[in-house]
Every structure is written in C-alpha cells, then in structure tokens.
Structure 1
Amino acid sequence: MEIFHAIILAIIEGLTEFLPVSSTGHMIIGSSLMGIASDPFTKMFTVAIQFGAILSVIVLYWKRFFQTIDFYVKLFVAFLPAAIIGYWFNGYIDQLLERVDIVAYMLIAGGVIFLFIDKIFEENEKKEKSINHFMAIRIGFFQVIAMLPGVSRSAATIIGGLSQGLNKKTAAEFSFFLAVPTMFAATLYKMYKYFDSGATFGSSEITLLVIGNVVAFVVALLAIRSFISFLTKHGFKVFGYYRIILGVILLILLYSGVELSIV
C-alpha cells in the first residue's frame, strides 16, 4: 500500500462509515480497483482507520459524552447484543464476510427499503422523543442485522431508532454514538487478529495508519455535519437509489469476472 492508496481509502471510510450506504461495499470497490484488496495490511488498515472516524463523533458531540452516566448505560445496553451475538457466531460471520455477492444483494435490499422508509415513519417527524433503556437495547438488536455484510451498521441502527418512534435526527445521532463502542471494539479485535497471525509492521506502515486516521477524521467530521442536514431536509430516498446502483455495479463486476475481495 502506498500513501495515495491510504488517502483514498481513508476518504472512502470517512464519507461512508456514518452514511447508510455500507462502507464495506465502497471499500471492496476502492481497494479492488487499486489492486490492494488481498493484502493483509490493507484488510487491517481499513478497520484501524475507523478510530479516526470514531474521534470525529466524540469531537462533534463532546458535550454529550460529558453528561450523565445514564448516557453510557444506554450505549452499553445497545452495544451488548452485537457484542454477544458477534462472539457466539464469529466463525459464521467470518464466512459471510468473504461473500461479495451477499454485500451486493444486501445493498440492493436495503436500498429498496429506503425508498419507502420516509413514508413508513412519516409521523415520527411530528414529535420529539427521547431514548430510554428499552429502546436502546432494541436498537442494539437492529445493529446485529448489520453483521450481514452490505447491510450498513448506520442504516440498521437508524432504522432501529425510527422503529422506536424517534425522528430522523435523533435516530441518526444515536447511531453515531453507538458507533463509538462498536467500532472501537472492532478495531481492537482486527488489530489483535493481525498481530496474532504473526504479522508486523514498521515505520512506513505506522505512517500510513497515522495519515489514514487523520484523513478519515477530517472527512468524517464533514460527512456527519452534512448528513444530518441533508437527512432532515430530504430523507432517505436518495440513499436508497444510491445503494441499489452500487449493488448492481458490484454484481456486474463480480459476474464479469473482476476479482473482488472483502476488506
């Protein structure tokens, strides 16, 4: 991996991690087109730079992270379903993560749902509702669905929030907050697996990780701000069309014989 590759992947991560469009699908296309998808360091890198994206949430919403303990309790109970089920079914999930076709089909299926989601939860926008502990754990179970590659963690948790009567803004913000423990755990696990396999890296790899995290941090800051504004004004339909187009592109590439690899 070169610095150019690291910057491109970090931009993709920052743009797509918090949008309901599946960062996995974008990483597959980006890394495969650059010819680095099968590199073990690339696979670790694409997860490790989530740390920069996590920091963007903390910086943007730092006041929320210095409020009551109850805020952290809600995040903890929402995080638990994915942590427990992910641990129990880790082997099966890893097998799914090798299936590019599943990513494509999940992108399309989620896109179709997004075409109708604004209408389904139209009444939510007329009221302001706060999150309680029972709602938090239910949203956490929606996050479990995102273990299917291509679903999008952001998409699953936002829909989970809408299903609990939250408006789009509140559902999206809780999705951002829930990303912090979830992505932090995923980053630690991926790096552990990388080093446990006997892999090491030197100063050049450290440089790539630093650049990647800085770029992902800056881009994610801009993406989160823009997403909230766009979502409240225009809803989910455009993301639905985008997911369907991206899924179709993946299927065309896959069945045309282009070598694609899950990062």
Structure 2
Amino acid sequence: MHHKRIMRSIILLAFLLLIGCADNNNANKAVPLPAMELHEQVTLGQYKNKDLQWLVIAKEKGKALLLCKYFIDEMPFDEKNDNAYWKNCSLRYWLNKDFYENAFSDEEKQSILLSTLENPSVKFAEVYTDTILAVGDEPYFYYYPDENYDSLANSLEEEDSMELQKTKAEPSTQDHVFILSLQEAGLYAMDIDSPLLSYKSKYDYSYSWLRTHANPTVYDTGAMVSGYQDFYPWGFYTDEPMPVRPATWVACK
C-alpha cells in the first residue's frame, strides 16, 4: 500500500510537470501578430457575429496588452453571489472557457498568451472634500500608481479629510482572457482620454467589472467596478449583471 501511494505521487508530480512544460512550450510557440502601436485599434475575434475591436493599452518586449474597445455583454461576476474572488468566480470561467473557445479561431488562439496575473492588495485614498469636485458629503476616491498620498493630504483644505483604504490580496491566476484589476486600470487606462473602462449607454456612462476585491470594510462579497476614469471601491454584489470588457495579452512583433 505504501509503495502504491508513492507511485501515485510520482505519477501526479510527473503530470503536473508535464502541464508546466506544455504551458511553457505554448508560450514559446506563440505566433506573433504584426507590430502594434500604443493606443492602436486592432481587430481580433468575433462575438455575437460581430468583429471584436481592441485597443493596445500596454506594450512589453514581444507582447501587447489588448483591452476590448467596447463592453461585450452584461454578466454577473459570480452567479451564486458567494464568491468575490477572481480565482473562483463564474465570470473568469466563462471568459476562459466559453468566450475564449468560441470568440477566437484556432489561428488567433496561437497568438493569445496564457498570462500569469498578480492580484495584490491595492491602496487607495477616500477623500471627503468640497474643493475638488464640489460633491459635498460624497467621497471622491483616488488611485494612481506610485501615488504620493502625503502630497495629496497636504493639498487638501483644512475642512477636507482623507482616509487610506486597502483591498484584499488574492491568489495569482493564469488566464488567456481576463478583466483588468484596479492596479492595471490605473497603470494603463485611466490616463487615456476616452471612456475605456465604461460603456456609453443611452443616457449616461455606466460601470464595468474589475477583478479586484471590493473594500472589505463595507461588505465581503463585492467586486470592484470602474467607471469613466474613476472607480467604485465599495463594489457591487457579484450576482448583479454588469458590463464586461475583456483584456488579453497577445504575442506581437
């Protein structure tokens, strides 16, 4: 019996190593798309019989980060509303299973990278002020990469107040298709003069899902959403249908 357990463990280890090698081989064999310029619009895949338009929001050596120009659908973050973590939510499963398998051709899939996504804790400032947006008692939220929050605090008027908040860290994941985190949105998209992170409805701008956990001081089952160059850290209940804007890393020349 002891020898059988050892043998099963060896087989499982070999299987996991084989998967890891396969992932590395897939990355190495990725077929690069033509060279892309930052903020360029590219066409890749189809959804509901319409071509998908993407914006290049970041470039690194041999790859580019694409963000869908428009929301593709309204879906819950998690259908059961009992999971606000990206790793186990139904939206992640749908994007990497149904959407990935059906939206892209076999040839296009050869250019889409399996990316390791980090989901660290993120710090942001909650500011109550009458001097920035004239919003009275409503708070205004700041998040910028490498933001100096001491400078922000010093810029406020005496009657204003600021409190630093922090989201929960989550496990890293590997995905072909995903939605942006708050950190990625602040780093890549919030400085672009177009509503990249929201869609224009008939009446007004709306929010779309981020994969960052909502501020846990409010409630523990929410996922963050982002609007037009801003975000809502308290999040929404995860079974509520919200606009979805996919992102993906692709190999390029």
**What TM-score range do you get, normalising by the shorter chain?**
under 0.3
Q: What TM-score do you get using the length of structure 1 for normalisation?
A: 0.23
Q: Which has the higher strand share?
A: 2
Q: Which has the higher helix share?
A: 1
Q: What TM-score do you get using the length of structure 2 for normalisation?
A: 0.24
The structure whose RCO (Cα within 8 Å, separation 6+) is larger is: 1
